[in-house]
Amino acid sequence: MNRITKNFFHPGTYTNKISLVLLTLRLVVGIFMLTHGLGKFERMFGDAPIQFADPLGVGATASLALIVFSEVFCSILIIIGLGTRLAAIPLFITMLVAALIVHSTDGFGRQELPLMYAAIYTTIAVLGAGKYSLDYLIAGRRKH
């Protein structure tokens, strides 16, 4: 595995206390975002025709699929701490699109929450998952 790949999957080297804080952050933000994504996941596979915003001009179905990937699958990866740094990137982008494109004319009240999520995902991408994660278990196995 090359150096860049190792860094993306490195959980960080933190004390147990900091790792517990990272676990709590991952669980809270992951579960909260998952609740947003599950409704969209159901809509994607429902009987009704897909009607969804298309802020990037890729089509309503593709936009919904990208959001479901980000909010459901990347949230699950963050919760379990697998590929955590990489999983935070699509969520960060999703939150920036929500704040700066979808809600660009709605005022700060509607932009505040996605911007706060974006800040949290930046933190997770920089710090990694910590000791209480699958990333940590995998990193430990690679050393032996």
Q: State residue 21's pLDDT score.
A: 96
Q: State residue 1's pLDDT score.
A: 54
Domain-located, residue 41: yes
Q: Do 22 and 120 meet the contact criterion of CB atoms below 8 Å apart?
A: no
Domain-located, residue 130: yes
Query: From residue 45, how far is each of 38, 48, 53, 61, 124 by CA, in Å?
Result: 11, 9, 16, 11, 30
- The number of folded domains in the chain is 1
Residue 143 has pLDDT above 60, yes or no: no
Residue 5 has pLDDT above 80, yes or no: no
| Structural domain containing residue 108 | 33-143
Kindly report the number of other CB atoms within 10 A of residue 17's CB atom. 8
Q: If you average pLDDT over every residue of the chain, what do you get?
A: 90
Give the closest residue to 118 by CA, choosing from 81, 80, 90.
Answer: 90
Domain-located, residue 7: no
Return the higher-pLDDT residue of 5 and 136. Answer: 136
pTM for the model stands at 0.89
Q: State residue 48's pLDDT score.
A: 79
Kindly report the number of other CB atoms within 10 A of residue 136's CB atom. 22
Domain-located, residue 46: yes
- The model's pLDDT over 107-126, given as tens digits with 9 standing for 90+, comes to 899 999 999 999 999 999 99
Domain-located, residue 100: yes
Side chain identity at residue 35, one-letter code: T
